[in-house]
């Protein structure tokens, strides 16, 4: 509960600093759908919400999270919705229209971008959503700035009566810094919604009024940006001859690079990336013969600076900086050095880190489900998978992922495949993802008589992002008891006739269920239900397994087909007792019955 302290400093993650900034702003309502690199925002709110007097929820998806925050805001309360960058896609149908309606209480939408796709299916640049929706966007560089900009975002939101974006990236979200605290603002007032259909009912007549209103408010936002101290010039050296424009985490790398290169430069640090402080940018560009733009992902700033008349602008468009993946201090150092003709200087020493790809945990029930699916289909099915830790099955030896698009996309794609080919099709979706985006695809499959096995991997939690609750768990983000919404009831309600519920730890039963499901001439649903092994391991000691070397035929099925990381080869095949989860699935698949319980 340290984050509720009222003075001093705290060592905070960037994501935790978002929460602290919201608390110091008197936030009333917070909503999220968990997604790395934004997950800790919701997790922190969940821990402190009751004591802080804040309502918090894990919404079923990002669109609902934004709508929940909007409902609080138009009732006059301050609200915040947080998500990862691809979640912003899900919520965009809502917030683009909210820009027309506007808000009353301050409303902040936090998006955490993931350059280099560390835990995502793309590395889109959320700054373009600020342009698309025509809403203000702030971008911090450090946890201290995160906290201060979160507060400023609430102020700007209420001044303009518009939602305001706060854009994070992986390094800003997950870096730690001692953050100076201010007093938490208690705000226990009850909201009240004043009816105003012409503003809040966005039928065409209302929208035609809302769009001009939005444009007028964004003109005011330009004035705020031009005068804001969030945009500032930082001088390095006595006589700067080079102008550098940057924002976010790239600013930190830029300052380091300029100092190491020993050059004099003026750095325009943009804290408001939409709308840009145009006059400040124009004056800055005119002051230097050469302008360098340092930014991660797309050439967003570079394009805008050129549109303001910038010449001799160096950045991504000129191929002086890489267009893809996140920046590092080395990339920025080397790129600026090359532009300035200092590429022959001694470069930073490059550290080679061994590759360590992520794998499904030892004992993960999903591994048993995938193994059973391969056996049942003779590995001839098309595997259409979804977003979750189970997407790791793309790696050998399981190799049960042939196509992955987005949350809920596995079943939607499977439906299209079923109408296009006579091949057998198995789709995989997690329990949290099912509630997020899998239900419409299921209804669509029933309605249009698609033919595939809709496999719901129910491990009783939102595992990939840190075990957050979902509607099928009987508990809310506030820690309150909630209705346990059963997946099988939803499936039956959608009209599915074939439903099998299995424990994937029973391999024989799961293989049999898959075989029957594959023969069904319509959409069939198989629910593979077993708690995440990380939840199970907290309950205490489990059975330990070993290989009876006198029985082992070294067929390597446990390694080459099942692929549990607890197995290793040291002249002979062995089980590492330090990581074996004791699930016992390997003992079932060993044809020689050589895997036994340690007595």
pTM: 0.94
Q: Which residue has the higher pLDDT, 100 or 347?
A: 100
Rounded Cα–Cα distance for residues 144 and 590 (Å): 55
Determine the pLDDT at residue 349.
Answer: 64
pLDDT band at 107 (very low <50, low <70, confident <90, very high): very high
Peptide bond into 427 cis (omega under 30): no
For tokens 């023969």, name the residue.
Answer: 519
pLDDT digits (tens, 9 = 90+) for 178-202: 999 999 998 778 999 999 999 999 9
Three-state SS letters, 3-26: HHCCCCEEEEEHHHHHHHHHHHCC
Closest by CA to 580, choosing from 567, 599, 590, is: 567
pLDDT band at 357 (very low <50, low <70, confident <90, very high): confident
Closest by CA to 250, choosing from 303, 189, 299, is: 299
pLDDT band at 225 (very low <50, low <70, confident <90, very high): very high
The helix (H) or strand (E) run that includes residue 233 is strand 232-236
Determine the pLDDT at residue 347.
Answer: 55
CB 472 within 8 A of CB 435: yes
Enumerate domains of the chain plus CATH numbers: 2-227 (3.40.50.970), 232-339 (3.40.50.920), 365-537 (3.40.50.970), 545-597 (3.30.70)
Name the token pair of 456: 């719901």
Residue 93 in this model has a pLDDT that exceeds 60: yes
The helix (H) or strand (E) run that includes residue 87 is helix 85-101
Determine the pLDDT at residue 358.
Answer: 86
């Amino acid at each position: 509960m340290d984050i509720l302290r009222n003075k001093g400093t705290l060592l905070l993650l960037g994501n935790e600093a978002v929460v602290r900034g919201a608390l110091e702003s008197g936030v009333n309502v917070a909503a999220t759908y968990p997604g790395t690199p934004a997950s800790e925002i919701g997790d922190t709110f969940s821990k402190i919400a009751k004591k802080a007097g804040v309502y918090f929820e894990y919404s079923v998806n990002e669109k609902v999270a934004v709508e929940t925050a909007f409902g609080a805001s138009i009732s006059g309360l301050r609200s915040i919705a947080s998500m990862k960058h691809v979640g912003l896609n899900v919520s965009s149908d809502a917030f683009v229209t909210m820009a027309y309606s506007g808000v009353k209480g301050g409303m902040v939408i936090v998006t955490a971008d993931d350059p280099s796709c560390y835990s995502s299916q793309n590395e889109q640049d959320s700054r373009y959503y600020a342009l698309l929706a025509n809403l203000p966007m702030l971008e911090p560089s450090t946890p201290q700035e995160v906290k201060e900009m979160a507060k400023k975002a609430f102020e700007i939101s209420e001044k303009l009566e518009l939602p305001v974006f706060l854009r994070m990236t992986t390094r800003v979200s997950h870096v730690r810094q001692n953050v100076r605290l201010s007093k938490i603002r208690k705000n226990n007032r009850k909201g009240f919604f004043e009816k105003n259909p012409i503003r809040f009912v966005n039928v065409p007549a209302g929208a035609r009024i809302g769009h001009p209103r939005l444009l007028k408010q964004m003109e005011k936002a330009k004035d705020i940006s031009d005068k804001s101290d969030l945009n500032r010039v930082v001088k390095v050296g006595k006589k700067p001859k080079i102008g550098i424009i940057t924002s976010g985490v790239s600013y930190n790398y830029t300052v380091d690079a300029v100092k190491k290169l020993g050059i004099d430069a003026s750095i325009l640090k943009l804290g408001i990336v939409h709308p840009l402080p145009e006059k400040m940018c124009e004056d800055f560009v005119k002051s230097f013969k050469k302008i360098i733009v340092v930014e991660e992902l797309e050439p967003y700033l570079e394009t805008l600076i050129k549109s303001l008349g910038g010449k001799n602008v160096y950045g991504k468009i000129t191929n002086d900086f890489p267009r893809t993946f996140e920046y590092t201090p080395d990339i920025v150092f080397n790129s600026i050095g090359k532009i300035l003709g200092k590429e022959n200087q001694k470069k930073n020493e490059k550290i080679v880190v061994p590759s360590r790809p992520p794998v499904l945990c030892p004992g993960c029930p999903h591994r048993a489900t995938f193994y059973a699916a391969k056996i049942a289909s003779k590995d001839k099915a098309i595997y259409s998978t979804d977003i979750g830790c189970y997407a790791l099955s793309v790696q050998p030896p399981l190799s049960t992922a042939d196509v992955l698009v987005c949350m809920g996309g596995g079943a939607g794609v499977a439906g299209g495949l079923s109408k296009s080919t006579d091949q057998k099709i198995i789709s995989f979706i997690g329990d949290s993802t099912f509630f997020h985006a899998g239900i419409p695809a299921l209804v669509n499959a029933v309605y249009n008589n698609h033919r595939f096995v809709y496999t719901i991997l129910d491990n009783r939690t939102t595992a990939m992002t840190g075990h957050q609750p979902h509607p099928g768990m009987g508990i809310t983000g506030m820690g309150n008891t909630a209705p346990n919404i059963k997946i099988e009831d939803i499936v039956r309600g959608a009209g599915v006739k074939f439903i099998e519920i299995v424990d994937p730890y029973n391999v024989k039963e799961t293989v049999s269920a898959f075989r029957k499901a594959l023969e069904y001439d319509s959409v069939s649903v198989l629910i593979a239900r077993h708690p995440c092994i990380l939840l199970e391991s907290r309950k205490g000691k489990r059975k330990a397994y070993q290989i009876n070397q006198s029985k082992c035929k070294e067929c390597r099925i446990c390694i080459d087909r099942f692929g549990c990381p607890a197995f290793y080869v040291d002249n002979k095949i062995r089980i590492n007792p330090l990581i074996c989860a004791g699930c016992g699935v390997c003992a079932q698949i060993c044809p020689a019955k050589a895997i036994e319980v340690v007595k």
